[in-house]
């Protein structure tokens, strides 16, 4: 199939030929005919699959063939969650429509509103905007929706995540009902699916790839380490693996600035993108990265969607995202348009719940690779991708012989001069001793279980508070042998609440 076979007009075909777009992607093959036919659309596709062209091309075709724009009006409105994505989509419309007599513009916050007001006075064929700034323009009577033909919500789930729900409701009420509405996103949350019931009319549904999956062209792996050693490990990996350009995601704005400062002190060209930076500075940092003036671009999740960087080879999750879906968008900055890429995550023990959520969402267990010299003192428990939560910690490369109660297979995390890592499913180490051991408190399994003297259940995780493995095993064995005696004492223990 070719773009010509989809029925697009010649000016668009010439623009695509200049871009060396020879064949439509799967999402474009399905979306373009539906949009040209005037249908509402709900399309889910992985980032980097060409979904922007999937709605921009047919919209440009229809705008060229159908009427002209009136002053203060807009014929096509594209709503996006972030400034970076707004700029990217705006550039796409201008690039695809370079041979068309149409007017395009972009509006978002963080910059003066007056130039945007002036631009709207003559009317626009296409306006790409963020919800907050568009609402400001509407309140100033700088824009009217009476001529609106098509509304596009791009990354609508992210707009809800960022708190734009109320703004969207106000904007929807100001728009005319007879219109074409298109929803394009890499993922659709349950809240978005509920919203579409009153927003779209008999929509065409497109699911190009399984929901919440990462592109197969990206190799994913993680290195367990301690939080304090992440900066040192990152520098080590850059030198050892000879990374070229790297996009690094950090959880907080402060963390972004600290990492950039460290890189600059090491003589590595680096820049930052986060919410505290003014938009001109963010655009300048992105441009410097695209033109290879900067080797490392460090960003918060504000840039997880909307960064379109050609042939980006490497993404690093310095911190795991708090929202699992953002992991998909982060690593989707590499491996785009069929190219290969690599995404590595530096994971510490207190991020195990975030890791489990990511693996549950994507339906895969991320490959772990220990980096010699950076092994974690506080081990990252195994997740196994299970929905029930983390499993007991995995064995290290240097396996130790198992010592535990007969038939119990208990995992013993003890001593060794370091604080043991406690999985989320294990009782707290404080005050907890093997069931039946002398002096055992009422915490954990001892008092709440079937009996204070019961044997250790198969698969239980026993954390010894300062006691050696042999001591714990010996106590547990005694408890198993004297189960009957322990059962006689369960009345008092069971009736007593957890000790504090």
Q: What is the chain's pLDDT, residue by residue, as a tens digit (500 residues)?
A: 889 999 999 999 999 999 988 889 888 999 999 999 999 998 887 666 788 999 999 999 999 998 788 888 999 999 998 888 899 899 999 999 999 999 999 999 888 999 999 999 989 999 999 999 999 999 999 999 999 999 999 887 777 766 778 888 899 889 998 899 998 776 676 777 777 777 888 899 888 755 555 556 788 999 999 999 999 999 999 999 999 889 999 999 899 999 999 999 999 999 998 878 877 888 888 889 888 899 999 998 876 565 666 668 899 999 999 888 888 878 877 766 556 789 999 999 999 999 999 998 888 899 999 999 999 888 888 886 433 333 434 444 444 444 444 444 443 333 334 433 434 433 334 343 333 434 433 333 333 343 434 444 444 443 333 444 444 444 444 444 444 444 444 444 444 443 33
- Sign of the torsion formed by the C-alpha atoms of 439, 441, 442 and 443: negative
Q: Do domains 4-207 and 218-368 have the same CATH topology?
A: yes
- Nearest-angstrom CA–CA distance, 91 and 140: 26
Closest CA to 53 of 88, 18, 87: 88
- Sign of the torsion formed by the C-alpha atoms of 215, 221, 226 and 228: negative
Query: Which tokens is 186 given?
Result: 């890499």
- Could you please state the CATH topology (level 3) that the domain comprising 218-368 is classified under: Rossmann fold (3.40.50)
pLDDT at 395: 41
Q: Could you tell me the residue ranges of all domains in the chain?
A: 4-207, 218-368, 411-494
Number of Cβ atoms within 10 Å of the Cβ of 287: 12
Q: Scanning the structure block, which residue is given the tokens 């509006």?
A: 107
Buried b / exposed e along 49-86 (16+ C-beta atoms within 10 A): bbbbbbbbbbbbbbbbeeeebeebbbbbbbbbbbbbbb
- Nearest-angstrom CA–CA distance, 411 and 81: 46
CATH code for the part of the protein at 4-207? 3.40.50.300
The model's pTM is 0.58
Evaluate whether 380 touches 349 at the Cβ level (below 8 Å).
yes
């Amino acid at each position: 199939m070719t773009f010509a076979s989809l029925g697009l007009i010649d000016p668009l075909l010439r623009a695509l030929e200049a871009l060396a777009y020879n064949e439509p992607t799967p999402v474009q093959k399905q979306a373009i005919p539906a949009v040209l036919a005037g249908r509402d659309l709900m399309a889910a596709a992985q980032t980097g699959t060409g979904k922007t062209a999937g709605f921009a091309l047919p919209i440009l075709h229809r705008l060229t063939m159908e009427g002209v724009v009136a002053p203060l009006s807009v014929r096509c409105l594209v709503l996006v969650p972030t400034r970076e994505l707004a700029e990217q989509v705006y550039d796409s419309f201008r690039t695809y429509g370079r041979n068309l007599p149409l007017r395009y513009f972009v509006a978002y916050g963080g910059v003066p509103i007056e130039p945007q007001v002036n631009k709207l006075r003559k009317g626009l064929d296409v306006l790409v905007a963020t919800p907050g700034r568009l609402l400001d323009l509407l309140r100033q009577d700088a824009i009217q929706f009476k001529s609106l033909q098509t509304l596009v919500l791009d990354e609508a789930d992210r707009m809800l995540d960022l708190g734009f729900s109320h703004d969207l409701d106000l904007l929807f009420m100001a728009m005319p009902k007879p219109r074409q509405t298109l929803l394009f996103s890499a993922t659709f949350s349950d809240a978005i699916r509920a919203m579409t019931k009153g927003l779209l009319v008999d929509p065409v549904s497109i699911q190009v790839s399984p929901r919440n999956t990462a592109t197969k062209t990206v190799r994913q792996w993680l290195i367990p380490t301690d939080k304090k050693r992440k900066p040192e490990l990152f520098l080590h990996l850059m030198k050892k693996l000879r990374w070229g350009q790297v996009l690094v995601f950090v959880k907080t704005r402060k963390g972004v600035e600290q990492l950039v400062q460290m890189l600059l002190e090491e003589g590595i060209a680096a820049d930052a993108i986060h919410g505290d930076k003014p938009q001109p500075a963010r655009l300048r940092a992105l441009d410097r990265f695209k033109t290879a003036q900067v080797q490392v671009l460090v960003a918060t999740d504000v840039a997880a969607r909307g960064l379109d960087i050609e042939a980006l080879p490497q993404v690093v999750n310095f911190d795991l995202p708090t929202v699992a879906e953002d992991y998909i968008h982060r690593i989707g900055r590499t491996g785009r348009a069929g190219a290969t890429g690599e995404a590595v995550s530096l994971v510490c023990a207190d991020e195990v719940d975030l890791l489990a959520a990511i693996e549950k969402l994507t339906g895969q267990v991320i490959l772990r690779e220990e980096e010699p010299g950076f092994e974690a003192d506080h081990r990252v428990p195994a997740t196994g991708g299970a929905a029930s939560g983390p499993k007991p910690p995995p064995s290290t490369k240097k396996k130790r012989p198992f010592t535990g109660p007969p038939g119990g297979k208990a995992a013993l995390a003890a001593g060794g001069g370091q604080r043991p890592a406690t999985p989320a499913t294990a009782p707290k180490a404080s005050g907890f001793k093997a069931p039946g051991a002398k002096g055992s408190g009422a915490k954990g399994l001892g008092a709440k279980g079937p009996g204070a003297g019961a044997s250790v259940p198969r698969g239980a995780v026993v954390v010894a508070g300062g006691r050696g493995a042999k001591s714990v095993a010996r106590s547990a064995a005694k408890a198993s042998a004297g189960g009957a005696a322990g059962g006689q004492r369960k009345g008092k223990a069971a009736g007593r609440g957890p000790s504090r």
